[in-house]
Structure 1
Amino acid sequence: MHSTKKGGQWYFGMKVHAGVDAGSGYVHTIIGTSANVHDVTQPHALIREDDGVVSGDSGYLGVEKRQEIREDERLSKVDFRINRRPGSIKTLGVGRSYDRSRESRKLSTRSKVEHLFQIVKRYFGCRKTSYRGIAKNMNKFFVLFGCANLVMCLRAGRTEELSACGAYPITVSV
């Protein structure tokens, strides 16, 4: 974890990068890094074999120019749909409503990722990480995001996916 001192107070931080399936909204990959690692360095580890389109926020701008993406044959074919920075959207002008609506559609796709972080923070109370190291905190996050997948599954009424091969149907009201 990365430590920094601000006005005599020490702060320790880490980031969790999540890969989420756009269709189902389930987390398939999470990676933990220290707080000073930039977002654009992690997408190659989050992208699965069957991903053709990847959405991301403005922290991932320029990901297609990275060496690990360009050199990998599979990753170089992925369509990256990265949001612009908020300041550049404001300067588009009145006649550029198409670009604004396109950015809005990208944001709605990305909201599935943010929704899972909301479940982890609000339902399971994980708003702050303790200073135990990235490996121990990531063990906690693996369980929390697995539980968030279960909450999403229950909300959608997909109880067959929870039971092993549908042999034991689960009836839970949330």
Structure 2
Amino acid sequence: ARNDAAHVSHAERFGLSDEGIEDAIYDSYAMKRFLKIDFSIERTPDATTLLQFRHLPEKHDITRKMFDDVKERPDAAGLIMHGGTIVDATIIHAPSSTKNATKTREPEMHSVRKGNQWFFGMKIHSGTDAATGYVHTITGTAANVHDIVQAHALIRADDHSVYGDSGYLGVEKRAEILEDPHLSSVDYRIAKRPSQNRTTKAYAGVNWDKKIEHEKTSIRCKVEHPFL
């Protein structure tokens, strides 16, 4: 189990697939030394073993329990303010060769285009306390699932305002929001797209619009801190 854990950690750090890390151990003396593997008395776990080890915490819901424990401690100490949530999503990139036990691609992973680049993997959707920057809710989907789809699952029962980037525009019109008494009453303070900002000096409210968007950004920036 010790070597399995080191394998998985090393694979994630260097973006190697399970097959890639297995090959690297045989090909690289430095890798073998780092993992403290002696081929005279043991063999390196194969790619299937690494896959099974990686899914163990998920199978026993360990990661969820760890997250809940970490989250509840500052909450119990009164360090989380409540009342406002920042929603966001980030892609967790995985090697495109990542396979499951049946030698097929993981069904939880998918390809998605972001800008001019393609990514393969999953997406983490996070709800962050707007006042303190503590992450209070996390969900996971395939990378091609749009950010807005999971927004409703990131909002707490005592939230009265929600902040998000322009990817969440129109969230208040979605069925899961409109059909929920609490979610439909929340004030959604979503950033405008740059093209939506009226910059002409003939528009009397141009400075006011800039101030509003600046205030949204100053609050929303906290959501980036957990991913640094």
Unaligned runs of 5+ in 1: 119-174
What SS does the aligned partner of 1:40 have? Answer: helix
What SS does the aligned partner of 1:30 have? Answer: strand
Cα distance in 1 for partners of 2:112, 2:165 equals: 25
Question: How far off its partner does 1:4 sit?
Answer: 6.4
1:18-57 matches, cutoff 5 A? 18-57=126-165
Question: How far off its partner does 1:93 sit?
Answer: 2.0
> For 2:196, which of 65, 69, 88 is the aligned residue?
88
TM-score (norm 1): 0.60
Cα distance in 1 for partners of 2:178, 2:214 equals: 28
Cα distance in 2 for partners of 1:114, 1:4 equals: 21
Letter aligned with residue 189 of structure 2: R
Question: How far off its partner does 1:11 sit?
Answer: 4.7
The CA deviation string for residues 117-162 of structure 1, in whole angstroms up to 9 with x for no partner, is: 11xxxxxxxxxxxxxxxxxxxxxxxxxxxxxxxxxxxxxxxxxxxx
In our comparison, the structure showing a higher alpha carbon Rg is 2
Letter aligned with residue 219 of structure 2: T
Higher relative contact order (CA 8 A, sep 6+): 1
2:179 is aligned with 1:75: no
Cα distance in 2 for partners of 1:98, 1:4 equals: 36
Whether contact under 8 Å (2:110, 2:122) holds in the other structure is: yes
Identity of paired residues, percent? 59
1:20-169 matches, cutoff 5 A? 20-89=128-197, 91-94=198-201, 95=204, 96-118=206-228
* Consecutive aligned runs of 4 or more in structure 1 exceeding 4 Å deviation: none
Cα distance in 2 for partners of 1:35, 1:115 equals: 21
Note closer, same or farther for the CA distance 1:2–1:62 as it changes in structure 2 (3 Å cut): same
What SS does the aligned partner of 1:15 have? Answer: strand
What SS does the aligned partner of 2:182 have? Answer: helix
Question: How far off its partner does 1:3 sit?
Answer: 3.2
Question: How far off its partner does 1:87 sit?
Answer: 2.1
Cα distance in 1 for partners of 2:119, 2:132 equals: 36
Whether contact under 8 Å (2:112, 2:144) holds in the other structure is: no
Aligned counterpart, 2:121: 13
Cα distance in 2 for partners of 1:11, 1:112 equals: 25
The CA deviation string for residues 17-69 of structure 1, in whole angstroms up to 9 with x for no partner, is: 11011122100001111121111111110001111100000000000000000
What SS does the aligned partner of 1:73 have? Answer: coil
Cα distance in 1 for partners of 2:199, 2:211 equals: 12
Letter aligned with residue 13 of structure 1: G
TM-score (norm 2): 0.47
Whether contact under 8 Å (2:111, 2:144) holds in the other structure is: no
Note closer, same or farther for the CA distance 1:33–1:73 as it changes in structure 2 (3 Å cut): same
